[in-house]
Structure 1
């Protein structure tokens, strides 16, 4: 497998069948793509497997044209091979507005990204490649959405989550790799997106570099946590349409100069090392553990019969610490987005600096660790956690830090607090 993956860094051009043969044991959905149908109006070339093969060929041509190599070429090729893997999970038939039955794949980009999140680590890819592939797969429809919205904030939001030049190349390959009547118009839209991103100054660059510089200079005498709260809170407010310039972010954070709470929320399947990491890295933080509260109320950590009461108790304990501007960590799996939204929403309501810690071990590691854990989890429960996982996106919190199975940090560049919160 290493030889196959290394070939993608240079001049290798394996076809889709080679991806199935080499990576199918890690990504079994690859074998289902040739049997996954597509709507003939938008994909007259046929099934998803056929489409993926065409996209791969176009990606190789674009990689040669742009003289890509190393991590960049490997990232583009893997994204091309995997961009529609979520269609195997989401494709169905449903009537459109006129009553005509159509083939649709709702949210397949997001589902594909989440499917890959705990499986791609099995391949031993460099961290930068792993997270870039996930970003390209998860955002490969967002380019058109940003174009439709058209605002600077929409372009910035996308640019801080994914490499726009690579996303553009993937979308060109995706569009050329399909048979549809509007192919020329789609390619023209992509070119317009590139021009607009360049005009906005977000093409291949940090979209908030000016914000970082100005806020950092203005708050040079303050703690790095306060600077993060001001900058990242300002970014979220800007992307929500609440403010336009960094000076407004500084003004909005003025009250926090007297003090503010810190909230850390964990995300990862059972056995990914969350609780042990908290004990080692955040000894001064109060811990709100849903498992511990279940044990208090039912006598068993795994008892799900009083989940409503458990959640209410956890929320109240969280509020107590937030009210006194304390430091607190919400320790739970939180692999679903709606579960994470509960503590993160409360944190934002109380003006906390929110940090999302994402544990991303390989699937084999999760199942391999389980038998030796103090509190084992049924294999069926672990499988459900992974299958239903909704892998986080950056805008869910002020700061995000990814930890692989060895607790190696892969947080976003520029976050000094990736080395600790104290």
Structure 2
């Protein structure tokens, strides 16, 4: 069955159906880069250009629907990031990153979307500017390889090409040149239509996480323990997943520590102590070469990195498991928990959710219904 964001694709219907589409007509853009006008005008032009591209027409129906949805959503968070400076110049810093978070929430909560489809759209929006600005990155190779682990870069170029052509600007020739250089460069480094192949999981992890690493380096595997790190929103079933694992490992649970000391999950000050207490427990296991399971939400990349860096410092092999149920099941499971969280807290955590990527650990597994 082909997933579609919506059957009706007429702009007037989209404005009535989705409040975030209606918002676009109120968001200005800089005349130098977008002389066509506001975000609504630009987005309509991008979609029109997308449909005319031969590369788009050559795709299968599902990939076309994914790219169409990405084009519609690619600038959704210019509404919250747009700034106008004293000289009247308009900018929207970090709109792609923030847009990716919003899109994940929309496609998880409001539109029934398979996990793999949702995350493709999230990645396309997150990286939609990369083909135009890749060579300005501090490390273009690493940036390209990281993106290729999440999506097909040939599809990303199609979206970026439609984005560039769907505007009135003074630097169109430069944009088209950048797109061709993006294709040539990613073909040269071997990630144009497929993810790079690393010789070992540790080689991949080291390349993306160690300073001054290079892509062909294969570190010697000298692991002293194996650590399983869970990630997922509260109520997704992490405890149940642990119970089904065929592993006799101790579990470090932040929830258990909170309950033991009667600490409210929303108490930020005391929760810092909870995390430190859990880390001290982890260090004891790590020093002894004892594997364990770290059971906490770990919903942002920064949270996970701080933990995984600690574990790797003790020569642990880290497996990261992301747990997810459909939205309605998740909410029901939370209500049926012995210690349910308020809806307001869950909504905030959903907004901040960043699904783990393959660069974050030695192994990354998705346990998704």
Q: TM-score, normalised by structure 1?
A: 0.78
Partner of 2:69: 78
2:30 is equivalent to residue 39 of structure 1? yes
The equivalent position to 2:262 in structure 1, one of 295, 298, 319, is: 298
**Which residue of the partner structure matches residue 20 of structure 2?**
29
Task: Report the Cα distance in structure 2 between the residues aligned to 1:287 and 1:342, rounded to whole angstroms.
Answer: 19
Select which of 99, 104, 107 maps to 1:120: 107
Cα 1:6–1:389 change in 2 (3 A) is closer
Alpha-carbon separation, structure 2, partners of 1:124 and 1:243: 40
Q: Give the Cα–Cα distance (whole angstroms) in 1 for the partners of residues 263 and 135 of structure 2.
A: 53
Give the alignment partner of residue 331 of structure 1, picking from 284, 295, 304. 295
1:198 to 167, 175, 187: 187
CA distance in 2, matches of 1:57, 1:297: 59
Query: In structure 1, what is the Cα distance between the partners aligned to 2:282 and 2:12?
Result: 51
Could you tell me which runs of 5 or more consecutive residues in structure 2 were left unpaired when the two chains were aligned.
none
Q: For 2:22 and 2:49, how far apart are their aligned partners in 1?
A: 21
Residue in structure 1 matching 2:220, options 249, 253, 260 = 253
Match of 2:98 in 1: 111
Task: Map 1:79-98 to 2 at 5 A.
Answer: 79-93=70-84, 95=85
Deviations 1:224-257 (A, max 9, x none): xxx53x333344268x532342xx31xx324x1x
Is 1:147 aligned to residue 135 of structure 2? Answer: yes
Equivalent in the alignment of 1:48: 39
1:349 aligns to 2:336 (yes or no) = no
Instruction: Report if the CA contact (8 A) 1:48-1:84 is conserved.
Output: yes
Does the residue aligned with 1:262 lie in a helix, a strand or coil?
strand
User: Secondary structure at the residue paired with 1:205?
Assistant: coil
User: Is the aligned partner of 1:189 residue 2:178?
Assistant: yes
Alignment partners' CA distance in 1, 2:167 and 2:11: 15
Deviation for aligned residue 1:103? 2.6
**What secondary structure, in the 3-state scheme, does the structure 2 residue paired with 1:100 have?**
coil
Q: What residue number does 2:340 align with?
A: 376
Q: Which residue of 2 aligns with 1:173?
A: 162
Residue 277 in 1 paired to residue 241 in 2?
Answer: yes
CA distance in 1, matches of 2:186, 2:359: 20
* Contact 2:255–2:296 under 8 Å retained in 1: yes
Change beyond 3 A, Cα 1:290–1:17? farther
Match of 1:207 among 187, 191, 196: 196
Could you give the per-residue CA deviations for residues 151-193 of structure 1, whole angstroms, max 9, x where no partner exists?
5444323322221000000000011111211122111110111
Is the contact made by 1:109 and 1:137 (CA closer than 8 Å) also made in structure 2?
yes
Match of 1:130 among 89, 99, 118: 118
Mapped partners of 2:189, 2:31: distance in 1 = 36
Q: Is the 8 A contact 2:105 2:351 kept in 1?
A: no
Q: Give, in angstroms, the shift of residue 302 of structure 1.
A: 5.7
Structure 1, unpaired ranges of 5+: 8-12, 216-226, 407-422
Structure 1 counterpart of 2:9: 14
Cα distance change of structure 1 residues 232 and 279 upon mapping to structure 2, 3 Å threshold = farther
When residues 237 and 305 of structure 1 are mapped into structure 2, their CA distance, relative to the original with a 3 A threshold, is closer
Partner of 1:242: 213
Residues of 1 paired with 2:189 and 2:268: CA distance? Answer: 50
Q: Which residue of 1 aligns with 2:277?
A: 313
How big is each residue's C-alpha offset from its partner over 1:247-287, in whole Å with a ceiling of 9 and x where there is no partner?
Answer: x31xx324x1xx43222222222212222212222642322
Q: State the aligned residue count.
A: 367
| RMSD between superposed Cα atoms in Å | 2.8
C-alpha contact (below 8 Å) 1:284/1:327 kept by paired residues: no
- What is aligned with 1:409? none
